[in-house]
Amino acid sequence: MTDELSKLFESTKRLYRTEADEAINRLLLILNSSLLDDRIISSIDPVLKRLMEVSNDIGSIEDKNFKGIHELERKIRVEEKTLELLENSISTFISHRSLSTTLSILFESLYYEITKEELPFLVVSRESEALQTYPTLRSEENELLVGVIGIPLFSVSHTHEWILAGHEFGHIIANKELGIEIEYNYSYKNSGIINNYMMEILADFTAMQIFGPVFLEVLLTEFTGAERASASPTHPPIPWRIRLCYDQASYFNRKGFNEEFKEKGVEKFIDAIEGVIGELYPKEESERIKGFGEMVEYKDVESKIREIKEKDFEKIRNIADLKNCYKNAYKFSELLRSDTIPQYEMNSYSPEQIVIGGYLASREKPEKFKSYTQNVVDSLIRMKI
């Protein structure tokens, strides 16, 4: 029996050692591919180092230590997820280069504008991809080395989806500026679910502060008509999110945001939003909807939501800067609608002003959204050249 166990153990060792070495070889191919810039390449080194350590540990593990070998196998699986993510980001870059490049430019620019630090971004877009953040490429000190955002394939031609992806970017900024964790708690106890909900609401608030009222509009566009009680263990009910973002938009109004843009049609936009909110998401009715499995009620999170509202979102983007962003976004929107975008004017606009401007133009002339999106893509890529 002892000999049989030893044979089984040796067979298991060879299998896992082969898998670790295969993952190392795939990582080396990525490192030598020249498709990723040096900042992203350097973030792969810790992954490669960990896999090499696992491979060596497998070779030296004592006989019949099945618990130890399965712990090493678990480590391989963790690193394989990162490897798959990198391979998918390269595949996205090759097959959807415009989407990948454009969104990287947008998020890298915003990240530097907010934090005054540089962080490279990768975009993953697969057939079954949903909007999500992948906080996997980290240093040994657990510092995020690369921002990785998943976005659906069809989003290549929809600027409203890029703005909605601001929620995923919001996770990364809330982590950096407010110290909020990005990873979900999967215990599914009430406390874990509430922490997940707060993380999502914080990401919404952060996206609102960065992209302004259009984020609320795309949130409504995306989710109105969806299941009213569509809560999960990780995401709060949609009516909660929409009502809370509406409250944040009301804060902008108190700061004079709406008054400043009366001539730009903001009043019409506000009336439309308030009509939808009033009819579909009245405050009391929205707050009666319960969270996942009807285990969490709005009253359970009220105190934590008050804590969120007390956070200093102005350190992420102050209202004066947001107003200036919209002034330029409206100018760019007008240029798009007049079919005149002088090349010499391009340096006058930041990436998020171009994206918001493209969205505003598409809202005015929906039949031209494809050509406007292409203009936005071309404008951002020219910035990179």
Task: Please report, in tens digits, the pLDDT of each residue of the chain (385 residues total).
Answer: 567 888 888 899 999 999 999 999 999 988 887 777 788 888 888 889 999 999 999 989 888 888 999 999 999 999 998 888 888 888 888 777 777 888 999 999 999 999 999 999 988 887 667 788 888 888 777 788 899 998 887 776 788 889 999 999 999 999 888 888 888 888 778 888 889 999 999 999 999 999 998 999 899 888 876 655 567 888 888 888 888 888 888 888 777 777 777 666 666 666 777 777 887 788 887 888 888 777 788 888 888 888 888 888 888 999 899 999 999 999 999 888 887 766 656 668 999 999 999 999 998 888 988 888 888 988 888 876 5
Domain identity same for 23 and 71? yes
Quote the CA–CA distance of 272 and 363 in Å, as a whole number. 13
User: Hey, what amino acid is at 111?
Assistant: Y
The pTM is what?
Answer: 0.87
Where b means 16+ CB within 10 Å and e means fewer, 205-240 reads bbbbbbbbbbbbbbbbbbbeeeeeeebebbbbbbbb
Quote the CA–CA distance of 296 and 208 in Å, as a whole number. 25
Neighbours of 104 (CB within 10 A): 22
Last residue of a domain, one of 264, 285, 317: 317
User: Hey, what amino acid is at 23?
Assistant: A
Q: Give the Å distances, CA to CA, from 278 to 219, 286, 348.
A: 15, 11, 38
Last residue of a domain, one of 125, 148, 183: 183
Q: Residue 120: CA atoms inside 13 Å, Cβ hemisphere, count? A: 17
**Alpha carbon distance, N-terminus to C-terminus of the chain:** 67
Domain identity same for 103 and 51? no
Domain identity same for 84 and 134? no
Long-range contacts of 333-342 (CB under 8 A, 24+ apart): 333/357, 333/358, 333/360, 333/361, 333/364, 336/361, 336/372, 336/375, 337/361, 337/364, 337/365, 341/375, 341/379
Domain identity same for 43 and 141? no
Range of the domain at 102: 96-183
Q: CATH code at 148?
A: 3.30.2010
**Coil/strand/helix, residue 244:** helix
- Quick one: which of 344, 346, 347, 351 has its CA closest to 325? 351
Domain identity same for 331 and 352? yes
Domain identity same for 167 and 201? no
Tell me, what's the pLDDT at 291? 82
Strand locations in the chain, DSSP E? 121-124, 132-134, 147-150
Q: Are 172 and 144 in contact (CB under 8 A)?
A: yes
Quote the CA–CA distance of 319 and 326 in Å, as a whole number. 11
Q: Are 75 and 56 in contact (CB under 8 A)?
A: no
Tell me, what's the pLDDT at 180? 84
Quote the CA–CA distance of 137 and 56 in Å, as a whole number. 22
Tell me, what's the pLDDT at 22? 94
Quote the CA–CA distance of 162 and 85 in Å, as a whole number. 20
Last residue of a domain, one of 40, 60, 95: 95
Domain identity same for 312 and 331? no
Domain identity same for 194 and 313? yes
Domain identity same for 193 and 243? yes
Tell me, what's the pLDDT at 168? 94
Quote the CA–CA distance of 245 and 209 in Å, as a whole number. 10
**Per-residue tokens: 381:** 């890529």
Q: Considering its fold, how many domains does the chain have in total?
A: 4
Tell me, what's the pLDDT at 325? 93
Region of residue 125 (left: phi > 0; alpha: psi -120 to 50; beta: else): beta
Write the DSSP symbol of residue 359: H
Domain identity same for 224 and 289? yes
Domain identity same for 298 and 190? yes
Domain identity same for 263 and 365? no
